[in-house]
Chain A
């Protein structure tokens, strides 16, 4: 997993609430057997028409907006547990998603792939979306070490929460499996006294 350091980037505003993982990557594109290449199907049915031409009214197709941060409406990533949603976002160059609420499984999947979910208050999200929509060159700074999201131009500075263990993993590029493998003795000891009917 790639190490996460401070991010300073313009952002892409996706105002829609309750964006589910079927929209992020529709089920018919889940047939690949590797983790690569899902980016081309990211938001497939919102991004492309049936002939495969980009839809001009979808925000990811608007050339004015760019960057590695997605600012999305409340309850991002609900629905299916498919990790392909996180892989598709990472494959398209996203390093962070900012929203006022994330679905649990998506949040875990994102963290396991070096994609930082940044949860801000509903009022900050509203301001962020408005600022980025009106000025695509609004830069958002995300400092993981300090757990701070800043947009000095509009006076936003907000602390965000992240599990300290997950934070260390992201900063160092470790994953959970490395850690769990180091705990094997404890796990075997547990299993010996664990009764399952």
Chain B
């Protein structure tokens, strides 16, 4: 049943002009980068910016808007002989699938063509697309949570934007503040530890560590690599990302189960 609902939602999402523009936007920019920039590292850095800035924001706003626009339909679906659980996970997959798909098409596809000539960059490209998909799932989870926690769509949107800004800018501001205030101590470890807790920082650093620019981070890069390579670091990274993907979505699922429509 979940699968059935997922398919119907996905069918509707895939027809929306939003997802079309989102995909076209990525496709156009990717192709432009691949065409006009010569160096692979520059292309990948530009794409990384898109992944860090655009993917979370679009995933969040699109998901929120879609969920609020389809409130009455969700209600109607619930009057059919289906369990709430199925409807929730149907929506989760029905939105998340197309979001992932548009990244795969918009960024992954041009990358496949381009990287055929630069095979050594293939793992990095794959890492970037995977990071983008992960971030879009995280922000879909946040959107689901907010959509079923707030009745007012503007409130949900406002809180969503706040969360986005917090993760995108404020959190890094916090890291910077810690670095400056605690500069008398070996802050690299603290900074690296903090960066593991924010999915945007983690994805960015995981990508950068595979690139030449890691050398510009000097000792910090060494600390990051060492921590990532250690059992603790791997566990922390995987755990942190898991929590970000699972926790908001799980919260949303609990709220959906108890919600009055």
Whether A associates with B in a native complex is no
